[in-house]
């Protein structure tokens, strides 16, 4: 008999639900007041029989009440509410009675109904074999008739999470801005409510709906980490509440404060998934858990190689025409690029960012015979053909706006805010969604497009619909329309790939990645800045989703000059692309670039599908180590942006290697003992000076007895064995 507990179990006698994953247990219990309350989330060995949680009703101390699985804004609850409703008679908040459960196939559904009003909720949980990720969401239904009137929903979160009591919890989260996305912050959590949010209608450059909590001592390799990620690409809010007696809870979902949905009789609102992952082994293991989950359950085609792409944006800006693009395509193909992407500027009157957006027909002066000749040329070179679009937007100076001025988000009594000279289409309107879908479908079909780079360069303003009884629904309707269009395009064009972009990395989340292949990480392509951006990105997202280009030096964003090899080595840690003006690269640079593209193609399976370990060595060296799942092959990309006297030669420990195995450097033939590489480290032999980098490929040496390693002498790095 296996002693592995069932993935999902519910004991009706005690109202106790337990979710079991390989390295965690999660438990909740229906409280005396009918509300599901949190019991446990952590290591299996810490989970024992736990007492029934107190509810505010049966405790005189608020701090004794167990946290709600979704706080319903009623009774003695004074923290952030995950559900805020107002009934037609003006009464606020739900008071639950438990109505039943289902538990099967890894999914648990807890049924709740208000004790007086026609409102029911289902709290949903899902676990998957082999994964520690717990997916959660909520469904809310108006179960009454017209006589009950509509119910106002001011907040409907997907889930609330609770960590065990930690003496001094630390919050890891991502902040940034345009050109500086995914900056990792690790901050002591104040005794307060901390709000992470986007009010922009897109996920945002400024904050991301991912966080991790630890006791302040976790490292890449050690310590307990509780992390969560929301699968939503519009506005969102997560409120983290650390109370004075040591409890930390966080409730999160789509939408920001001040939005109200109207729930009519018979209607159901459902929320995006808010997933959680407990890791007993540090931030690195937490990230690998997320990467595995995203590959196994989120990405549409995780096993397909992400192509080495060339994108013309940094080379040509808006000055695109057929001859120049064909020339760039020739050069890109010569370097080994597998996909050529024509960026902004190919359509309508789009000679700058002031006009033409929305008019998706090729600009005759630039493409006199349409895009097909360029697409055919690119295909003839053996590359796939990609096209930039920004289908949610319009310039005021465009035929689309002149024909349909009412299609944009607007309020007649308010000034329309233009950002980058553009306005936002209201995709929540069915006719606008249909137009966008038909336009993209036509472009893909007519031009043999293999890849869409789907951009979105501004947030929502003047959002809401004057006179609509449910004016705020457009915030969710827009995002769902984007999802639907992407899903339809992929279904109707099985070869089509989509790259998510929003002025760089402004819309990267588990929702958009469920229908795209990779995301444009940042418009900042400076390799030194990119090391930090990529570090933050990797906390949640796997390398195969991280588009990374090698561009010109000095970098247009920072003015910093860096060697071509360094630029490549940084970009090779993701889905490699080329984005420079290849017509200005010297013959030597083109030769070196072709060699480095070929090197990337060799390690691509490891980068795109292996396990990633983030490393930091002495002297300002950082690195990523990508290992095949069976441990047989390894690629290490190490970077030292600036030299520090006396530190250049320090070896870099590789703790993910097997201490009992031996490894051979595929380029030098040198053999190492795994134990020495783990503990003493690998001599990186970085060249002198700033912007030093190396790629090291290691293979596990087969043992003479047919196992993984050959016993016998081998060189220990740095003379250590
Ligand atoms: C923003 C994107 O991030 C860039 O890569 C480029 O596509 C421009 N938009 C084009 O306008």
Q: What is the pLDDT of residues 488-515, one digit of tens each?
A: 999 999 999 999 999 999 999 999 999 9
pLDDT confidence of 258, banded at 50, 70, 90?
A: very high
SS (H, E, C) 599-663: HHHHHHHHHHHCEEEEEECHHHCEEEEEECCCCCEEEEEEEECCCCCCCCCCCECCCCCCCCCEE
User: Regarding beta strands 151-156 and 83-86, do their DSSP bridges make them parallel or antiparallel, or are they unpaired?
Assistant: antiparallel
pLDDT tops 90 at residue 561: yes
> What distance in Å separates the CA atoms of residue 174 and residue 227, rounded to the nearest whole number?
12
* Cβ atoms < 10 Å from Cβ of 629: 11
What's the gap in Å between 320 CA and the centre of ligand 1?
14
> What distance in Å separates the CA atoms of residue 82 and residue 95, rounded to the nearest whole number?
13
* Cβ atoms < 10 Å from Cβ of 158: 28
pLDDT tops 80 at residue 648: no
What tokens does 583 get? 């017509």
> What distance in Å separates the CA atoms of residue 570 and residue 639, rounded to the nearest whole number?
7
> What distance in Å separates the CA atoms of residue 134 and residue 714, rounded to the nearest whole number?
45
Q: Where are the beta strands (DSSP E) in 107-234?
A: 107-114, 119-127, 133-142, 151-156, 159-163, 170-175, 183-188, 193-198, 207-214, 225-230
Phi, psi of 30 (to 5 degrees): -75, 120
> What distance in Å separates the CA atoms of residue 448 and residue 429, rounded to the nearest whole number?
29
pLDDT confidence of 53, banded at 50, 70, 90?
A: low
pLDDT confidence of 719, banded at 50, 70, 90?
A: very low
> What distance in Å separates the CA atoms of residue 315 and residue 208, rounded to the nearest whole number?
30
* Active site (catalytic) residues: 455, 523
> What distance in Å separates the CA atoms of residue 714 and residue 696, rounded to the nearest whole number?
18
Average pLDDT, the chain: 94
CA 166 to chain centre: 27
In this predicted structure, what is the pLDDT of residue 708? 57
In this predicted structure, what is the pLDDT of residue 464? 86
**Which residue owns the Cα nearest ligand 1 atom 10?**
344
What's the gap in Å between 502 CA and the centre of ligand 1?
8
pLDDT confidence of 64, banded at 50, 70, 90?
A: low
* Cβ atoms < 10 Å from Cβ of 385: 23
- Tell me how far CA of residue 362 lies from CA of 211, 244, 320, 332, 670, in angstroms: 43, 61, 11, 22, 55
User: Regarding beta strands 261-263 and 151-156, do their DSSP bridges make them parallel or antiparallel, or are they unpaired?
Assistant: antiparallel
**Which residue owns the Cα nearest ligand 1 atom 9?**
503
> What distance in Å separates the CA atoms of residue 276 and residue 631, rounded to the nearest whole number?
27
For the CA of 343, the nearest atom of ligand 1: 7
Per-residue model confidence as pLDDT tens digits over 90-140:
999 999 999 999 999 999 999 999 999 999 999 999 999 999 999 999 999
**Which residue owns the Cα nearest ligand 1 atom 6?**
313
Per-residue model confidence as pLDDT tens digits over 655-706:
999 999 999 999 999 999 999 999 999 999 998 899 999 999 999 999 877 6
Residue from 500, 503, 530 whose mutation best tests the ligand 1 pocket (most atoms within 8 A of CB): 503
What is the DSSP-derived secondary structure letter of residue 297? I
Q: Which of 503, 574, 506, 569 is nearest to 534 (CA)?
A: 574
> What distance in Å separates the CA atoms of residue 681 and residue 688, rounded to the nearest whole number?
19
- Segment 369-385 mean pLDDT: 98
Helix H or strand E segment including 566? helix 564-571
- Segment 85-92 mean pLDDT: 98
What's the gap in Å between 73 CA and the centre of ligand 1?
43
Higher-pLDDT residue of 257, 714 = 257
**Which residue owns the Cα nearest ligand 1 atom 11?**
344
- Tell me how far CA of residue 360 lies from CA of 349, 438, 458, 520, 532, in angstroms: 10, 11, 19, 22, 36
pLDDT tops 60 at residue 717: no
pLDDT tops 80 at residue 2: no
pLDDT tops 60 at residue 56: no
Residue from 351, 459, 523, 551 whose mutation best tests the ligand 1 pocket (most atoms within 8 A of CB): 523
For the CA of 523, the nearest atom of ligand 1: 3
Residue from 316, 344, 551 whose mutation best tests the ligand 1 pocket (most atoms within 8 A of CB): 344
pLDDT tops 80 at residue 221: yes
CA 247 to chain centre: 28
Q: Would you say how long the chain is, in residues?
A: 721
pLDDT tops 80 at residue 147: yes
CA 30 to chain centre: 33
What's the gap in Å between 708 CA and the centre of ligand 1?
47
> What distance in Å separates the CA atoms of residue 93 and residue 33, rounded to the nearest whole number?
14
Residue from 343, 500, 507 whose mutation best tests the ligand 1 pocket (most atoms within 8 A of CB): 343
What's the gap in Å between 585 CA and the centre of ligand 1?
22
Per-residue model confidence as pLDDT tens digits over 587-619:
999 999 999 999 999 999 999 999 999 999 888
pLDDT tops 70 at residue 269: yes
Are residues 592 and 564 in contact, defined by beta-carbon separation less than 8 angstroms? yes
Radius of gyration of the chain (CA): 27
Scanning the structure block, which residue is given the tokens 């390894």? 634
Provide the angle, in degrees to the nearest 10, between the axes of the packed helices 372-380 and 322-335: 20
What is the DSSP-derived secondary structure letter of residue 164? P
What's the gap in Å between 313 CA and the centre of ligand 1?
7
Are residues 596 and 565 in contact, defined by beta-carbon separation less than 8 angstroms? yes
> What distance in Å separates the CA atoms of residue 507 and residue 459, rounded to the nearest whole number?
10
Q: Which of 45, 48, 38 is nearest to 136 (CA)?
A: 38
In this predicted structure, what is the pLDDT of residue 57? 53
Per-state percent for the chain, helix, strand, coil, to nearest 5: 25, 30, 45
User: Regarding beta strands 248-254 and 236-242, do their DSSP bridges make them parallel or antiparallel, or are they unpaired?
Assistant: antiparallel
Provide the angle, in degrees to the nearest 10, between the axes of the packed helices 587-609 and 322-335: 70
What's the gap in Å between 501 CA and the centre of ligand 1?
8
Q: Where are the beta strands (DSSP E) in 159-206?
A: 159-163, 170-175, 183-188, 193-198
pLDDT tops 70 at residue 721: no
CA 503 to chain centre: 15
Partner residues linked to 381 by β-bridges: none
Q: Put the strands of the sheet holding 159-163 in their side by side order.
A: 159-163, 248-254, 236-242, 193-198
> What distance in Å separates the CA atoms of residue 236 and residue 261, rounded to the nearest whole number?
14
pLDDT confidence of 646, banded at 50, 70, 90?
A: confident
- In this structure, of 462-471, 591-600, 621-630, the range with the lowest mean pLDDT score is 462-471
What tokens does 102 get? 């289902």
In this predicted structure, what is the pLDDT of residue 704? 72
> What distance in Å separates the CA atoms of residue 27 and residue 38, rounded to the nearest whole number?
7
> Residue 389: helix, strand or coil by DSSP?
strand
For the CA of 520, the nearest atom of ligand 1: 3
Higher-pLDDT residue of 257, 649 = 257
Scanning the structure block, which residue is given the tokens 């080379």? 315
Residues lining ligand 1, judged by CB closer than 6 Å?
313, 343-344, 388, 455, 457, 501, 503-504, 520, 523
pLDDT tops 80 at residue 459: yes
pLDDT tops 50 at residue 302: yes
Are residues 718 and 675 in contact, defined by beta-carbon separation less than 8 angstroms? no
Would you state the torsion angle of the CA atoms of residues 370, 371, 377, 380, taken in this order, to the nearest 10 degrees?
-120
- Tell me how far CA of residue 291 lies from CA of 132, 418, 486, 574, in angstroms: 12, 37, 22, 13
What tokens does 495 get? 């070869």
For the CA of 311, the nearest atom of ligand 1: 5
User: Regarding beta strands 497-500 and 518-520, do their DSSP bridges make them parallel or antiparallel, or are they unpaired?
Assistant: parallel
For the CA of 504, the nearest atom of ligand 1: 3
């Amino acid at each position: 008999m296996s002693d592995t507990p069932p993935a999902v179990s519910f004991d009706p006698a005690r109202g106790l639900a337990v979710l079991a994953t390989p390295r965690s247990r999660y438990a909740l219990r229906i409280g005396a007041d009918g509300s599901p309350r949190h019991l446990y989330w952590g290591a299996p060995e810490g989970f024992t029989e736990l007492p029934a949680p107190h509810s505010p009703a049966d405790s005189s101390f608020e701090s004794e009440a167990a946290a709600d699985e979704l706080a319903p804004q009623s009774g003695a609850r004074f923290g952030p509410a995950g559900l805020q409703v107002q009934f037609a008679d003006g009464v606020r908040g739900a008071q639950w009675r438990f109505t039943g459960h289902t538990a099967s196939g890894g999914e648990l559904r807890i049924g709740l109904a208000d004790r007086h009003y026609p409102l029911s909720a289902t709290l949903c949980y899902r676990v998957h074999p082999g994964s520690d990720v717990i997916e959660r969401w909520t469904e809310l239904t108006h179960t009454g008739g017209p006589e009950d009137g509509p119910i106002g929903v001011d907040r409907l979160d997907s889930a609330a999470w609770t960590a065990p009591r930690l003496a001094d919890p630390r919050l890891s989260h991502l902040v940034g801005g345009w050109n500086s996305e995914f900056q990792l912050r690790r901050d002591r959590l104040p005794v307060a409510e901390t709000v992470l949010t986007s009010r922009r209608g897109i996920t945002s450059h400024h904050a991301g709906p991912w966080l991790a909590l630890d006791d302040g001592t976790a490292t890449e390799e050690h310590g307990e980490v509780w992390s969560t990620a929301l699968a939503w690409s519009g506005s969102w809010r997560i409120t983290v509440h650390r109370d004075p007696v040591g409890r930390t809870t966080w409730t999160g979902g789509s939408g920001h404060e001040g939005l109200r949905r109207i729930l009519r009789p018979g209607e159901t609102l459902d929320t995006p998934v808010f997933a959680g992952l407990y890791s007993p082994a540090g931030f690195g293991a937490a990230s690998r858990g997320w990467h595995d989950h995203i590959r196994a359950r989120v990405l549409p085609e995780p096993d397909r190689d992400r192509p080495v792409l060339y994108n013309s944006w940094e080379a040509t800006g808006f000055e695109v025409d057929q001859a120049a693009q064909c020339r760039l395509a020739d050069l890109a193909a010569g370097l080994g690029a597998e996909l050529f992407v024509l960026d902004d500027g190919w359509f309508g009157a789009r000679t700058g960012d002031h006009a033409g957006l929305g008019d998706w027909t090729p600009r005759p002066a630039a493409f006199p015979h349409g895009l097909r000749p360029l697409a055919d040329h690119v295909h003839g070179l053996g590359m796939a053909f990609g096209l930039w679009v920004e289908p949610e937007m319009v310039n005021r100076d465009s035929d689309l706006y002149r024909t349909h001025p009412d299609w944009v988000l607007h309020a007649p009594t308010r000034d329309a805010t233009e950002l980058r000279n553009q306005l936002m289409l209201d995709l929540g309107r069915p006719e606008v969604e249909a137009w966008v879908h038909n336009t993209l479908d036509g472009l893909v079909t007519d031009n043999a497009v293999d890849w869409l780079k789907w951009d979105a360069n501004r947030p929502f303003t003047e959002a809401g619909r004057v006179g609509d009884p449910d004016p705020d629904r457009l915030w969710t309707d827009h995002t769902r329309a984007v999802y639907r269009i992407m899903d339809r395009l992929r279904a109707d064009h099985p070869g089509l790939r989509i790259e998510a972009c929003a002025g760089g990395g402004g819309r990267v989340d588990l929702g958009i990645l469920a229908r795209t292949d990779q995301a444009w990480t940042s418009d900042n392509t400076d390799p030194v800045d990119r090391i930090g951006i990529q570090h933050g990105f990797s906390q949640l997202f796997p390398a195969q989703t991280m588009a990374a280009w090698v561009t010109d030096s000095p970098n247009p964003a920072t003015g910093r000059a860096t060697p071509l090899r360094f630029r490549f080595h940084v970009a090779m840690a993701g889905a490699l692309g080329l984005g420079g003006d290849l017509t200005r690269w010297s013959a030597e640079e083109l030769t070196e670039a072709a060699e480095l593209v070929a090197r990337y193609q060799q390690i691509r399976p490891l980068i795109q599908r292996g396990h990633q370990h983030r490393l930091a060595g002495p002297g300002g060296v950082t690195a990523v180590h990508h290992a095949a799942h069976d441990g047989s092959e390894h690629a290490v990309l190490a970077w030292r942006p600036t030299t520090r006297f006396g530190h250049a030669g320090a070896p870099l420990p590789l703790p993910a290697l097997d201490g009992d195995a031996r490894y051979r450097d595929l380029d030098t033939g040198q053999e190492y003992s795994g134990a020495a590489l783990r503990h003493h480290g690998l001599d990186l032999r970085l060249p002198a000076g700033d912007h030093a980098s190396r790629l090291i490929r290691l293979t596990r040496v087969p043992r003479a007895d047919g196992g993984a390693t050959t016993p016998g002498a081998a060189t220990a790095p740095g003379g250590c064995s």
